Amino acid sequence: MRTAIFPGSFDPVTLGHVDLICRAACLADRLIVGLLVNPDKQGYFSLEERQAMIARALPNLSNVSVLPFEGLLADFARAQGASLLVRGVRGAQDLQYEMDMAWANARLCDGLETILLPARPQLASISSSLVRQIARFGGDLSAFVPASAVDEITRRFYNGDNTATTGGSSHVKK
């Protein structure tokens, strides 16, 4: 039984993430979407909000679950019995960082392999930070994030009068 982890911050989840999760689900018997809990850095969305947004966005995939993790990804992988990490690469700008992470994780957890999946060309320019920028000014998010997340993300960032908010809840980073 092969367990893989697709880790990330998902702040918020994008259509690029959803596509990669669906593709990664075919590569393992069990896929865990690992949601980073960073105690030093408050997210724009709480852990619960990010977890619910991902779960709502995914089609019915029986072998996929969404689990939070804190600390080292390699330790989380070991605790979950995972032998595979899956990450997306949107272009050359991502590659060196992803290779560095892959080698570090392999050193921290013996036998932990990383597969890098190329983003689909039509999704390769999407990032969570781009989504946040568009949302701040009330732009149409439907080509960037799952339909089930559009309203929640827009409400978090947009005042409705073309002025940006920093985000809508108490845990939001400034």
Number of residues forming the site for ligand PNS (CB under 6 A): 9
* C-alpha span between 115 and 27 (Å, rounded): 10
76/157 with CB nearer ligand PNS: 76
Catalytic-labelled residue, pool 50, 87, 90, 136: 90
Q: Are 117 and 135 in contact (CB under 8 A)?
A: no
Q: What is the largest CA-CA distance in the chain?
A: 53
Q: In the bound complex, what is the minimum distance in angstroms from residue 159's beta carbon to ligand PNS?
A: 27
Q: In the bound complex, what is the minimum distance in angstroms from residue 72's beta carbon to ligand PNS?
A: 4
Q: Is 148 a binder of ligand PNS (CB under 6 A)?
A: no
Q: Is 99 a binder of ligand PNS (CB under 6 A)?
A: no
* C-alpha span between 13 and 9 (Å, rounded): 8
User: Which of 16, 18, 54, 105 touches ligand PNS by CB under 6 A?
Assistant: 105
Q: In the bound complex, what is the minimum distance in angstroms from residue 112's beta carbon to ligand PNS?
A: 11
SS3 33: strand
> Is 17 labeled as catalytic in the residue annotation?
yes
Q: Which residue is nearest to ligand PNS (CB)?
A: 8
Q: What angle do CA 118, 122, 127 make, to 5 degrees?
A: 75
- How many CA atoms does the CB half-sphere of 31 hold within 13 Å? 22
Applying the rule CB under 6 A, the residues between 24 and 63 that interact with ligand PNS are 36
> Is 41 labeled as catalytic in the residue annotation?
yes
For residue 115, give the nearest of 14, 36, 25, 38 by alpha carbon: 25
Contact residues for ligand PNS, defined by CB under 6 A: 7-9, 36, 72-73, 101, 104-105
Active site residues: 17, 41, 90, 128
